[in-house]
């Protein structure tokens, strides 16, 4: 007859998964049960607190839509996304490869290849910024034909996929480039700004209740792929942003901070004439040999 107490219940639950055919799944379930049961015992969780947790997770799921993934946002603000990234990329810093960071919820998949120097911010207000970059191996050899997806928020802190007209107007402030024989690519855009994660859902309630700010420092996303090399998922952050040391999703690494130089020349590096000041971001990416999964587009949330 079953009569489990708080100490032997955990073992009984774990044993119920003993016939799980997938060894990795069995291990993950067992470790999850151990951690959850230990949390309940250590905190002496009350029924009220347990119900509040269930209600919070229920609301988190209900907030998800095809254009918003609140669970990604929850993972981000709890530092889980960056912890998974760190565990899976322990060797990169030692080898000299460019550091990784979170993919974020606004990657929507591949776009058509865009010419070097193209303006990906057509019709978007903001200060002009020109990005020039190079992709190499760990020894500095240029990688021709590497594919780079880029995306970032607008001057108001919104990504194109957050806007109601995204389906009809298509992408903006995002594009795909292919490196030339010297491993180079470049594009014109606008200067990104720091912005808040969405706070109108349960994750926002959590941030408010815990007196945390919801801000992310200004950055541009890059997803770099080259044959024979691990895909690189990263951001390049703008030096001087006030939130570099308090990113709400813990995504900043010192090596990913780039100085953006103010410029006053009448022409951009691609020869395009401009009136007034503009900004130049230069950053090179070092790829690590190997293979890896290319991320699949996920439902957008807000990062």
The residues annotated with a catalytic role in the active site are: 159, 195, 216, 219, 221
What number of CA atoms fall less than 13 Å from residue 87's CA on the CB side? Answer: 6
Q: Give SS3 for 97.
A: coil
Max CA pair span of the chain = 84
Q: Which of 193, 194, 184, 159 is nearest to 173 (CA)?
A: 159
CA distances, 80 to each of 22, 92, 102, 140 (Å) = 24, 19, 10, 33
CA atoms within 13 A on the CB side of 282: 5
Question: What's the CA gap between 219 and 244, in Å, rounded?
Answer: 10
């Amino acid at each position: 007859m079953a009569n489990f107490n708080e100490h032997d219940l955990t073992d009984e639950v774990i044993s119920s998964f003993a016939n799980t055919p997938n060894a990795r799944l069995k291990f993950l379930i067992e470790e999850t049960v151990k951690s959850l049961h230990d949390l309940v015992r250590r905190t002496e969780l009350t029924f009220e607190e347990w119900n509040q947790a269930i209600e919070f997770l229920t609301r988190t799921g209900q907030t998800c839509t095809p254009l918003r993934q609140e669970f990604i946002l929850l993972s981000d603000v709890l530092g889980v996304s960056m912890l998974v990234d760190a565990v899976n990329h322990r060797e990169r810093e030692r080898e000299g490869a460019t550091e990784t960071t979170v993919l974020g919820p606004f990657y929507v998949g591949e776009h058509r290849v865009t010419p070097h120097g193209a303006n990906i911010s057509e019709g978007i207000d903001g200060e002009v910024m020109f990005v020039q970059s190079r992709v190499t191996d760990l020894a500095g050899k240029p990688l021709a034909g590497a594919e780079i997806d880029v995306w970032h928020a607008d001057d108001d802190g919104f990504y194109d996929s957050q806007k109601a007209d995204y389906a009809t107007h298509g992408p903006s402030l995002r594009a795909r480039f292919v490196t030339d024989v010297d491993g180079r690519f470049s594009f014109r855009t606008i200067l990104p700004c720091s912005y808040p994660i969405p706070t109108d859902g349960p994750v926002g309630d959590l941030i408010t209740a815990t007196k945390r700010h919801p801000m992310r420092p200004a950055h541009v996303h890059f997803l770099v792929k080259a044959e024979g090399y691990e895909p690189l998922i990263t951001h390049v952050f703008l030096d001087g942003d006030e939130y570099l040391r308090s990113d709400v999703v813990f995504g900043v690494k010192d090596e990913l901070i780039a100085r953006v130089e103010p410029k006053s020349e009448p022409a951009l590096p691609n020869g395009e004439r401009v009136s007034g000041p503009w900004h130049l971001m230069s950053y090179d990416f070092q790829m690590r040999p190997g293979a890896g999964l290319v991320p699949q587009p996920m439902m957008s949330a807000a990062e």
